[in-house]
Chain A
Amino acid sequence: MENSRRSFLKVAGITALGVGTKPVLNVFASSGGHVEEPKPEVSKNEKALTAKKWGMVIDTRKFHSAEDLEPIIDACHKIHNIPELPEPRHKIMWLWEDEYKHVFTHREHELVNDRIKHLPFLVLCNHCEKPACVRACPTKATFKRDDGIVLMDFHRCIGCRFCMAACPYGSRSFNFRDPRPFIKEENKEFPTRMKGVVEKCNFCAERLAVGKLPACVEASNGAITVGDLDDPESEVRELLRTNYTIRRKPDLGAGPSVYYIV
């Protein structure tokens, strides 16, 4: 029941985007009697990109300065209607940059080489294997999909911010005020949020559903790769096999799905 509601939302989202050409939802009208409960049958968009377990590899060797990251961050924030709020403490970030010592707090040491020391790193939700945010949420407004993506239901969130306290990576933002007046150019294909709810990177689930790669991947000139961590043939697995990668705070056991080549 839970799942069908979500799938419905997802599907409704796709149709609203005007992409679903085929009927994606078939509800067989029941004629009473003993027939089984009519179940909504959901079929995926044929072009949808799918994976058993989504993951991301960021090749930080391809970045040199904050300028290299800017277009990537902009791409994400633009299509997801992230507001630019006047008050720093109200800031909303899905994808941002920070220094090595802040991103990899458990690996930081003073004598790290110059390149790493001054290199800006991309930071985003890790779509954890065991997400602390999901465990903490009292309403299941934040939930993990079977394919590993951790999502938000903006309409269910009560804004208790338990998930923000729980996330060990600081990945979540809260709408301290109505964000709509502060969205520069609204992308009509993605919902805006209301005040009082939490949000974060959604792995571009809305784009994957219609066969598009995440916006950051598209804007990264090949520096960011996403794919199926469970598929040994996938591009991300190839990258992980042939490069030394690190994850954030691995000792916490959360199992981040975002890997960094350094």
Chain B
Amino acid sequence: MLELALKGDKKYWGWIIALLAFIGVGFAVYLKQLDFGLGITGMSRDVSWGFYIAQFTFLVGVAAGGVMVVLPKYLHDYKAFGKITILGEFLAIAAVTMCLLFIIADLGQPMRAFNVILYPTPGSVLFWDMIVLNGYLFLNIVIGWNVLEAERNNIHYPKWVKPLIFTSIVWAPAIHTVTAFLYCGLPGRGFWLTAILAPRFLASAFAAGPALLILLCLIIRKVTKFDPGKEQIQSLAKIVTYAIILNMFFFLCEVFVVFYSRIPSHMSHLQYLFFGLHGHGALVPWMWTAMIFMGTSIVLLVIPATRKHEGVLAFSCVILFIGAWIDKGLGMISGGFVPNPLHHVTEYVPTIPEILITLGIYAIGLLVLTILFKVAVNVKEEVGGLKDSCESC
């Protein structure tokens, strides 16, 4: 089916070339990082994880969010989603690909990455994270490809795919739970040391992932002949609504516990993020923006009139996505390191090379996404995407 990605109009190729340009720049800067070391980033002894790990964390969420179209289809037999499950699966593939690349980009000795397999250490959460991420990638590739191929040939997908689908439904929350466990089991980091971290991660994932899917559906409708469907988009919007409300609720639970108990080692991180600490507050405007964006999106999503208006819905999804990105991709990781275990404040700001490498990886993700979506949409167009649901699956 891949050959479908080789046929496209001028706009399509223009987009691909633009992505390739970003990838090229990112790769060149990565070679520089390989040569010099991670010193070209803004990370330090005190803030030892930065932008890369934050993007990784956020994107694990996006990948897990893809399950929100697969689950209703297969567990609740919600037929309407049959049309777009493939988009959720392919989004997951692109997102996990980026996750793995961000981990590689973050390693000080990437050539030794295989040591994780050569000396397996089940006591380390990173070991499990490697397993669940690669497993999820594998599951989605196998499932997505087989289901789509079957649809193209107008047959039912092979029987053995079904158990894999159910596995992937359980697997999706697992990848984000394990990712949260990377942080919330560490004894000296009060910001992460909270049982609500994994639920919070999941809630924000199930908001940001489907919000992105809605936007992608709207784009697909605009640039192709395939219509993902009004009902589908509205159903996704309801999922997004509940998830973002839960995300806010979990966050406020954390805020209550932290500020009512007034334990400094837990309080100081939130203070740093939202009010600044000892005169340092680089993230303050960002964090409030995130809160305002997520809050506004809740209002717009809860009111049926605004949710049903696709223009407003698109706007809500954009600000929600940005809000969730700031929350996780900016605040969540460096916030945990400031102040450091000795209560010193060392701030972290990503450097230009770091951002260029990050953009390069995002471009790779978008390239994978574009190619996979192109294939999927062409297949849908072939078999007549105007059908309301896909009977064969």
Q: Are A and B co-members of a single complex?
A: yes
A-B residue pairs in contact (CB < 8 Å), sample of 27: A89-B43, A89-B44, A89-B346, A105-B265, A132-B188, A135-B124, A136-B124, A136-B126, A138-B130, A140-B121, A141-B115, A156-B119, A157-B108, A158-B108, A159-B107, A159-B112, A160-B107, A166-B186, A167-B341, A168-B341, A170-B45, A170-B342, A176-B37, A177-B39, A195-B39, A196-B109, A252-B187
CB of B106 within 8 Å of the partner chain: yes
Select B342's contact among A90, A98, A136, A139, beta carbons within 8 Å: A98
Question: Is B113's CB within 8 Å of the partner chain A?
Answer: yes
Nearest residue (CB) in A for B113 is A158
A161 vs B116: C-alpha distance in the bound complex, in angstroms?
A: 13
A247 close to B (CB within 8 Å):
no
Interface presence of A8 (CB below 8 A): no
B182 to chain A: which residues have CB within 8 Å? 162
A166 to B103, CA, bound (A): 17
Given A174-B48, A176-B37, A177-B37, residue A254 in contact with residue B108 (CB < 8 A): no
- With A139-B115, A252-B188 already in contact, the answer to whether A91 and B45 are too (CB < 8 A) is yes
- Is B46 interfacial (CB 8 A cutoff)? yes
A196 touching B188 by the CB < 8 A rule?
A: no
**B83 contacts partner chain A, Cβ-Cβ < 8 Å:** no
Instruction: Collect the chain B residues with CB atoms within 8 Å of residue A196's CB.
Output: 37-38, 107-109
Would you call A164 an interface residue if the criterion is a C-beta within 8 Å of the partner chain's C-beta atoms?
Answer: yes
* 129-171 of chain B: CB within 8 A of chain A: 130
Task: Tell me whether B43 and A176 are in contact (CB under 8 A).
Answer: yes
- Bound CA span A196–B188, Å: 23
Known A-B contacts A132-B188, A176-B37; A102 and B107 likewise in contact (beta carbons under 8 Å): no
A160 and B126 in contact, given A165-B49, A169-B188 (Cβ under 8 angstroms) = yes
Residues of chain B in range 81-138 having any CB-CB distance to chain A below 8 Å: 103, 106-110, 112-113, 115-116, 118-119, 121, 123-127, 130
B260 at the A/B interface (Cβ < 8 Å)? Answer: no
What's the least CB distance linking A151 to chain B, in Å? 15
A174 to B106 CA separation, bound complex (whole angstroms): 12
Label chain A's interface by main secondary structure. Answer: loop
Query: B-side binding surface: helix, strand, loop or mixed?
Result: loop
Known: A105-B265, A138-B124, A166-B187. A158 touches B112 (CB 8 A): yes
User: Which of the residues B37, B118, B183 comes within 8 Å of A195, measured between beta carbons?
Assistant: B37
Which chain B residues border A156 with CB–CB below 8 Å? Answer: 112, 115, 119
Chain B proximity of A259: nearest CB distance (Å): 18
Q: Does A158 contact B116, Cβ atoms closer than 8 Å?
A: yes
Give the residues in chain B near A93, CB-CB below 8 Å: 45
- A103: shortest Cβ distance to chain B, in Å? 7
- The docked-state distance in angstroms from the alpha carbon of A174 to that of B119 is 21
A197 in the interface (beta carbon within 8 A):
yes
The verdict on A118 contacting chain B, using a C-beta distance below 8 Å, is: no
Q: Mark A236-262, 1 if CB is under 8 A from B, else 0.
A: 000000000000010011100000000
Closest to A134 in B: B123
Residues of B within 8 A of A91 (CB): 44-45
Interface contact A102-B189, CB-CB below 8 Å:
no
List 8 additional contacts besides A138-B121, A160-B126, A195-B38; criterion CB under 8 Å: A102-B342, A105-B343, A139-B112, A162-B126, A162-B182, A178-B37, A194-B109, A252-B187
How many residues of B are counted as interface, with CB atoms below 8 angstroms from the partner's CB atoms? 45
Q: B interface vs A, CB < 8 Å?
A: 36-39, 42-46, 48-49, 103, 106-110, 112-113, 115-116, 118-119, 121, 123-127, 130, 182-183, 186-189, 265, 336-337, 340-344, 346
CA distance A262 to B98 in the complex (A): 51
User: What's the tally of chain A residues with a CB closer than 8 Å to chain B?
Assistant: 50
By the criterion CB–CB under 8 Å, are B341 and A176 in contact?
A: no
Collect the chain A residues with CB atoms within 8 Å of residue B103's CB: 160
Contacts of A123 in B (CB 8 A): 342
Inter-chain CA distance A91–B344, complex, in Å, is 15
* CB of A64 to closest CB in B, whole Å: 22
Give every chain B residue within 8 A of A170 (Cβ-Cβ).
Answer: 45-46, 340-342
Chain A residues, Cβ within 8 Å of B265: 105
> How far apart are the CA atoms of A197 and B38 in the complex, in Å?
10
- B119–A168 contact, CB under 8 A? no
User: A87 near B: Cβ within 8 Å?
Assistant: yes
**Contact, CB under 8 Å: B121 / A197:** no
Contacts of A160 in B (CB 8 A): 103, 106-108, 126
Q: Is the CB of B341 within 8 A of A195?
A: no
Chain B residues with Cβ under 8 A from A253's Cβ? 187
Bound together, the chains give a CA A93 to CA B115 distance in angstroms of 26
Chain A residues with Cβ under 8 A from B43's Cβ? 89, 176
Nearest CB to that of A137 among chain B residues? Answer: B124
Chain B residues, Cβ within 8 Å of A101: 343
Report if A175 contacts B (CB, 8 A). yes
Query: Do B44 and A161 touch across chains, with their CB atoms under 8 A apart?
Result: no
B115 to chain A, nearest CB (A): 4
Whether A139 and B343, one on each chain, are in contact in the complex, defined by CB atoms closer than 8 angstroms, is no
